[in-house]
Amino acid sequence: MMDLLQQLGQVGLQAFQRLGRGSLFFFQVLLGFPDLIRRFHLVVVQLWSVGVRSLLLIVVAGTFVGMVLSLQGYNTLVDFGAEESLGVLVALSLVRELGPVVSALLFAGRAGSALTAEIGLMKATEQLAGMEMMAVDPLRRIVAPRLLGGILAMPLLAALFSALGVIGGYFVGVGLLGVDDGAFWSQMQTKVDLNDDILNGVIKSVVFGVAVTWIAVFEGYDAVPTSEGVSRATTRTVVHSSLAVLCLDFVLTALMFNG
Amino acid sequence: MHNRTLEIGVGVFVALGLAALLMLAMKVSNLGALSGDGGYELSARFDNIGGLKVRSPVTMAGVRIGRVLDISFDNETYEAVARFAIEPQYNRLPKDTSASIFTAGLLGEQYLGLEPGGEEDFLQAGDEIRMTQSAVVLEQIIGQFLYSKASEGEDK
């Protein structure tokens, strides 16, 4: 019985320790951000590996999510004779929820895991230690550009996801199912608000970008420097960042759309 | 050379992302339709505004010419006051224009419909529309209908 309690306490303490280390790590990396203005090419390289390489996944996923949404929404709405509202349904669900959330989940799987593996492997092969020997701060040289790259790439990817989803929904709804072209757009434009919906969607994706990239770089930096440790860290990144995205999404939605 | 393709790729990516944001702002949301602060303001008083909301459309002859800006309650007269903005190019609404609250479709949202009168003077910014017709409340109509049915029954 006591053993069980002890184990529980140990697990709890370890979790809090990691959280504390993660927060300290985050602020240390943030301190490196001003330097990045002078060395922006480092961020550009990260935007390439994190953003451009996720592009195909986001484009295909966004288009198909929009198309499926349109197809499913039509089947329900047509019962009420309200198929003109299809545009509203597709646009609002993409801009408010699916765009930021699904692209963050894909981003965690595609880019987050790669970041963790890269940094973890650098640690395992003692490249980070080597940099420190040469008086180069790996937090500033390695971690900070990756974090900033992820934070910058995430809102752009989410916006692309939503926009392509709307276009995909348009093709299925108007092209395939015969919803009126004008009603699709005009209803969408009257119901979707720039500040309430689109801006909040962008804020969501920025928050998710920070969360996913932070978890990814921290897991990599904090990984046990063995091949097993790196593989575990990579798995943890995907699991933790997906859970973080879904929980944060609930909190943000409750804060933003409760009126 | 590799550096160059990389930078071009990132440039394309950022441009695509910004284009998507722009498309969401202009095409999906209402930014493209009405800038919001443009136009002149009018107001109208109603006994009951029903489901009219801020940002509901204001239409004339079925065409949207403005938006509801603000809805408030007048504590003195117990009426609802709706302020709305009309786009600046529609500045030839007659003084005796009337305003009614309609519903788009059976279950659709409510909007403010304007009907032109015959006077030669035009409404100016800040004017109030005198002739108004309140929203139709379904319960009241059903109540009236039942009441009239009941009284019909008594007559026989």
CB contact under 8 A, A48 and B33: no
Q: Are B100 and B48 in contact (CB under 8 A)?
A: no
Mean pLDDT of chain B, nearest integer:
82
Q: What is the pLDDT of residues B27-85, one digit of tens each?
A: 777 665 555 556 888 889 888 888 787 777 888 888 888 888 888 998 998 889 998 88
- Confidence at B122, pLDDT banded by 50, 70, 90: confident
- Confidence at B124, pLDDT banded by 50, 70, 90: confident
Separation in Å, CA of A37 to nearest CA in chain B:
16
Per-residue HEC secondary structure of chain A comes to: CHHHHHHHHHHHHHHHHHHHHHHHHHHHHHHCHHHHHHCHHHHHHHHHHHHHHHHHHHHHHHHHHHHHHHHHHHHHHHHHCCHHHHHHHHHHHHHHHHHHHHHHHHHHHHHHHHHHHHHHHHHHCCHHHHHHHCCCCHHHHHHHHHHHHHHHHHHHHHHHHHHHHHHHHHHHHHHHCCCCHHHHHHHHHHHCCHHHHHHHHHHHHHHHHHHHHHHHHHHHHCCCCCHHHHHHHHHHHHHHHHHHHHHHHHHHHHHHCCC
Q: How many angstroms separate the CA atoms of A180 and A125, rounded?
A: 60
* Residue of A107, A156, A195, A202 best to disrupt the B interface, most CBs of B under 10 A: A156
- Confidence at A207, pLDDT banded by 50, 70, 90: very high
Separation in Å, CA of A5 to nearest CA in chain B:
51
Instruction: Please tell me the predicted confidence (pLDDT) of residue A82.
Output: 80
What is the predicted ipTM? 0.77
Tally of CA atoms within 13 A in the half-sphere of A117 that contains its CB: 11
Separation in Å, CA of B12 to nearest CA in chain A:
9
Q: What is the pLDDT of residues B94-120, one digit of tens each?
A: 888 888 888 876 666 788 888 888 888
pTM for this prediction: 0.76
CB contact under 8 A, B29 and A157: no
CB contact under 8 A, B28 and A192: yes
Does the pLDDT at position A121 exceed 80?
yes
Dmax over CA atoms of chain A, in Å, equals 70
